[in-house]
Amino acid sequence: MDNSFLIIFLLVLAILLIKYYTPKIKGFIGENKASKALKRLNNEKYTVLNNIELNIKGSSSQIDHIIVSNYGIFVIETKNYKGWIFGYEKDQSWVQSIYRYKRKFYNPILQNQGHIYALKHLLKNYKYLRYYSIITFTKRATLKTKTYTDVVYINKLVKTIKQYDSYHINEQTKNEIVSIILTAKTNSRNKDKALRVNSIKNHNISCPNCGGNLIERNGKYGIFFGCNNFPRCKYTRNKK
């Protein structure tokens, strides 16, 4: 009797764990595919920031990918759903259809608008930034959407970004924006390994490689100084 109870308990626990972790695993896979695709962008023109979590006015906003570029700021929401995906621009919910199974999920365009709102609040001193919302799906999905916002497959993601080619942000402003986002970010997915960035510009510590500002970072092996022009400049030094 005791063994039967234990087996039932373990089965129920396994089912609950699978139900809880499967969406997270699928989400991670989708984000990873998008991250790999974004590596094809020229890193001198585009700075890619993956998995950024911001806490704005007590509300958390987890953003899959932010790209700070000379052409504007791209905010990307990644979905790894399978089946047919139906939805319109302003619908509250979209529908995932797999044969007879149908499931509603929150409109990712509206979801991404929330992410852009958080970024606008963070970057409120930069009044004339251009933000581009892109929703990207893996090829597991068949898109049946009708939207003005770009909703594309991951293999079309880089091409979609490159179609916005009007120059709006100079190099200095781009670097400042990257530094602000990295400084503000939290990362509840893995707080122990989170990169906590604190500006030390007032200490007049300059990067010997590019002349940028060195900022204090808390990494895996302790506190160190890194250039705020990362990833274009990868200079680091230990804190003494």
CA 229 to CA 111: how far, in whole Å?
Answer: 30
Q: What radius of gyration do the chain's Cα atoms show?
A: 21
Q: Are strands 131-137 and 150-153 parallel, antiparallel or unpaired?
A: parallel
Average pLDDT, the chain: 79
Q: pLDDT tier at 100 (50, 70, 90 boundaries)?
A: confident
Measured in degrees and rounded to the nearest 5, phi and psi for residue 49 equal -120, 120
**Residue 20 C-beta-side C-alpha neighbours within 13 Å:** 6
pLDDT tens track for 55-77: 877 778 889 999 999 999 999 99
CA 190 to CA 62: how far, in whole Å?
Answer: 13
Q: What percent of the chain has pLDDT over 70?
A: 68
Query: Residue ranges of the domains in the chain?
Result: 3-186, 202-238
More confident residue, 177 or 8: 177
pLDDT tens track for 112-138: 999 999 999 999 999 889 999 999 999
Residue with the two structure tokens 């001198």: 44
Which pair of tokens denotes residue 117? 């709102």
Is the pLDDT at 193 greater than 50? The verdict is no
Q: What percent of the chain has pLDDT over 90?
A: 51
Q: What is the pLDDT of residue 11?
A: 64
Q: Which of 172-181, 193-202, 219-228 is modeled with the greatest confidence?
A: 172-181
Q: Rounded to the nearest 10 degrees, what angle do helices 108-122 and 171-184 cross at? A: 100
Q: pLDDT tier at 195 (50, 70, 90 boundaries)?
A: very low
More confident residue, 31 or 65: 65
- Mean pLDDT lowest for which of 62-71, 86-95, 170-179, 203-212? 203-212
pLDDT tens track for 152-165: 999 999 999 999 99
Read off the pLDDT of each residue in 85-109 and give the average, rounded to a whole number. Answer: 94
